[in-house]
Amino acid sequence: MSGKPRLIYINGRGRMEPVRWLLAAAGVEFEEKFVETREQLEKLVKDGELLFQQLPMVEIDGVKMVQTRAILSYIAGKYNLYGKDLKERAWIDMYVEGITDLMQMVMMFPFSPAEAKAKNLASIEEKATKRYFPVFEKAFKTKMSNMPTIKKFLQPGSARKPPPDENYVATVVSIFDLN
Ligand code: GSN
């Protein structure tokens, strides 16, 4: 075993992308195993690897960790990226929960039925520009993008995943039961 965290997910952004970003920000190298079929997911479930029978899962420090927020909190805590006191941590949690609400909408958009796409897109655009983006103002984006570790992650050839395409949507639909 390499000792590097091992990320188990599909080969796309989804709920694992923030974990990739956070590890990149912390300057931590990681390995990835991509689930490509429903059978592979079922095997992980059958083998008892997934506490709630869901992905993402990250093997880290001997724990098979699930639940995106728990994974992120653990990594942030471990690498001193989770604030210097309880108040700073609460601010981090507020930003994280806010962007998670937006991400949830964006993440599910490619799976919305064709007839709902235009309406959903308009709603996402409205909320993104009026509610969420003003919080993450331009200065914040510039500061984040210029952190050396993030700068590296934004370069071609990093573990950053591309936006979802038809192939990604088809893969997700073939693996997971989407409600
Ligand atoms: O944040 C989390 O990790 C969990 N609260 C949700 C995890 C989740 O919904 N995972 C999906 C695939 S990733 N995309 O949403 C999943 O494993 N769905 C299959 C299922 O049976 O729920």
pLDDT recorded at residue 147 = 94
36: CA distance to ligand 1 center in Å? Answer: 15
User: Residue 139's CB: how many other CB atoms inside 10 A?
Assistant: 8
Amino acid occupying residue 149: T
171 lines ligand 1 (CB under 6 A): no
Q: How do beta strands 31-34 and 57-60 pair? A: unpaired
54 lines ligand 1 (CB under 6 A): yes
178: CA distance to ligand 1 center in Å? Answer: 9
pLDDT recorded at residue 177 = 84
pLDDT recorded at residue 129 = 95
Band of pLDDT at residue 1, cut at 50, 70 and 90: low
User: Residue 30's CB: how many other CB atoms inside 10 A?
Assistant: 19
Report residue 62 as tokens.
Answer: 């001997």
pLDDT of 51 > 90? The answer is: yes
Report how far residue 91's alpha carbon sits from residue 87's, in angstroms, rounded to the nearest whole number: 6
- Continuous segment of H or E residues that includes residue 154: none
67: CA distance to ligand 1 center in Å? Answer: 8
142: CA distance to ligand 1 center in Å? Answer: 31
pLDDT recorded at residue 21 = 97
Percent of the chain with pLDDT over 90: 91
Q: What is the pLDDT of residues 117-145, one digit of tens each?
A: 999 999 999 999 999 999 987 798 888 89
pLDDT of 83 > 80? The answer is: yes
Atom of ligand 1 nearest to the CA of 67: 3
Q: Residue ranges of the domains in the chain?
A: 6-175
Residue 127: C-alpha distances to residues 16, 65, 121, 123, 137 (Å): 23, 32, 10, 6, 15
Paired strand residues for 66: 57
pLDDT recorded at residue 179 = 66
pLDDT recorded at residue 124 = 97
Identify whether the C-beta of residue 148 lies closer than 8 Å to the C-beta of residue 156: no
Report how far residue 64's alpha carbon sits from residue 51's, in angstroms, rounded to the nearest whole number: 8
Percent of the chain with pLDDT over 70: 98
pLDDT recorded at residue 8 = 98
In CATH, the number for domain 6-175 is 3.40.30.10
